[in-house]
């Protein structure tokens, strides 16, 4: 019996489920949503500690957090977006100026919520 998709490994548990590949995709997106929510809570905690140390409210934007993690990938991504789709550059800069915990948290909640709605 030939399959149109051959993988270098065997996913036997996928074929045993009632939904097949759909269940695997839903599982991966649910994990992605939970990972983004976890990262948002970590960013919120880091902002809280930074604010306590400074004695004033300090919140990192998504661009500031990304540059802390890896400056070269941030520069490469923004350069690629500006060169490929210039119309998206300004809205992307606006989203990147929002607090990191808000962007990550809302994205994670939306992904996890959509997967939960699809499952019903």
The domains of the chain are located at 20-58+100-120, 61-98
Range 28-54 average pLDDT? 95
Range 16-24 average pLDDT? 64
pLDDT for 64-104, tens place per residue?
A: 999 999 999 999 999 999 999 999 999 999 999 999 999 99
Range 1-27 average pLDDT? 61
Residue 27 — very low, low, confident or very high, per pLDDT cuts 50/70/90?
confident
The tally of CA atoms less than 13 A away on the side-chain side of residue 88 is: 9
Cα distances from 55 to residues 46, 47, 48, in angstroms, run 14, 12, 10
Does 7 have pLDDT greater than 70? no
């Amino acid at each position: 019996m030939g399959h149109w998709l051959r993988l270098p490994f065997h996913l036997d548990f996928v074929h045993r489920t009632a939904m097949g590949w759909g269940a695997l995709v839903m599982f991966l997106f649910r994990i992605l949503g939970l990972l983004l929510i976890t990262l948002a809570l970590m960013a919120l905690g880091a902002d809280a500690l930074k604010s306590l140390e400074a004695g004033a409210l300090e919140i990192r934007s998504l661009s500031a957090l990304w540059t802390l993690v890896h400056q070269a990938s941030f520069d490469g991504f923004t350069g690629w977006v500006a060169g490929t789709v210039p119309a998206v550059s300004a809205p992307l800069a606006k989203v990147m100026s929002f607090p990191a915990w808000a962007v990550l948290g809302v994205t994670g909640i939306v992904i996890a919520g959509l997967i939960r709605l699809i499952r019903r």
